[in-house]
């Protein structure tokens, strides 16, 4: 299990009972759901970082123009 994903190879799948296969599928779908929820929340954070970067970049550009003149 790396980074939250359940990795099942073909041999594990073939040797498991239908109940175990259903459980593995359920756990994998829950893991994917949690990852998607995290990704859906990211744009707000990304917008905040972009806004802060724009302010910092604009201030540095203004200082550069002032000192460069």
Q: What is the pLDDT of residue 40?
A: 78
Q: 21 with 13: CB under 8 angstroms?
A: yes
Q: How far apart are CA 34 and CA 21, in angstroms?
A: 20
3-state secondary structure of 1: coil
Q: What is the pLDDT of residue 54?
A: 94
Q: What is the pLDDT of residue 37?
A: 87
Across the range 2-19, mean pLDDT stands at: 78
Q: What is the pLDDT of residue 49?
A: 92
């Amino acid at each position: 299990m790396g980074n939250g994903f359940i990795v099942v190879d073909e041999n594990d799948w073939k040797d498991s009972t239908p109940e175990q296969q259903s459980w593995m599928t359920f756990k994998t779908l829950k893991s994917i759901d949690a990852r998607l929820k995290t990704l859906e929340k990211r744009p707000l954070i990304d917008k905040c970082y972009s806004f802060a970067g724009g302010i910092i970049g604009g201030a540095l550009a203004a200082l550069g123009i002032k000192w460069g003149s």
